[in-house]
Amino acid sequence: MNTDDFISMLATGVKPVDRHVQFKRFAQAIIVGGAGSFILMVMLFGIRPDIGTMLVTPLFWFKMAFPLALATGSLLVLTRLSRPGARIGKRWIAPATPVLVIWIAALAVLAAAPDSERLNLIMGFSWRRCPFNIAILSIPTCVTITWAVRQLAPTRLRPAGAVAGLLAGSVATVAYCLHCPEMGVPFWAMWYLLGIVIPAVLGAVAGPWLLRW
């Protein structure tokens, strides 16, 4: 076989690369993983009984906005980390912003509260289990996000693993908000964030192994 014939054989049947493959992978991962986190939340903890009232309470939507914004920001960064050689640039600001906003809001609430109430606002009544509940609920999304990132040939495996865990933890927190009765902003700023950080740390540790392709 001469060189021209060999090249022709290799080129036969080649299909163009799907430009939207990254969007499709992450959309599938978030939908399936998020559904898994929601189902796991219902099975393990249940939806809070006053959810109907919460859906018309502005503070509840502020509570939901925190993990939703963090998930969106994490996804923006992860889409870059999933591409070989792609620069993150200023995209790190996207996940940092909701954290900064929730901390500022928490400090404002604490500053306005009486000294005797500040510790209760931070600790709530479920601080011992809240971060670990979020970490458990992140497992389905961790699995699907890991699958999606592996399909996209990342080269910076440790940062990609950390941000994948951050995204999974944020999605899990959205599901957990439908159960958790805590309505104190300082509580969210402390314990929700810790629950999100747990899978991020585990992702950073396991990234070089789980995301290798």
Q: What is the pLDDT at residue 22?
A: 84
Burial per residue of 69-82, b for 16 or more beta-carbon CB atoms within 10 angstroms, e otherwise: bbbebbbbbbbbbb
Q: What is the pLDDT at residue 88?
A: 86
Q: Which of 82-86, 105-109, 191-195 has the lowest mean pLDDT?
A: 82-86
Q: Which whole number is the average pLDDT over 97-108? A: 98
Nearest CA to 159 out of 151, 167, 98 is that of 167
Residues 139 and 47: their CA atoms lie apart, in Å, by 19
Residues 87 and 84: their CA atoms lie apart, in Å, by 9
The residues spanned by each domain of the chain are 20-210
Average pLDDT over the chain reads 92
Residues 197 and 176: their CA atoms lie apart, in Å, by 15
CA angle 175, 21, 13 (to 5 degrees): 150
Q: Which pTM was predicted?
A: 0.89
Q: Which of 84-93, 108-117, 154-163, 181-190 has the lowest mean pLDDT?
A: 84-93
| 116-150: pLDDT as tens digits | 999 999 999 999 999 999 999 999 999 999 999 99
Q: Within a 10 A sphere around the Cβ of 100, how many other Cβ atoms?
A: 10
Residues 181 and 198: their CA atoms lie apart, in Å, by 21
CA angle 128, 132, 133 (to 5 degrees): 100
Residues 95 and 77: their CA atoms lie apart, in Å, by 8
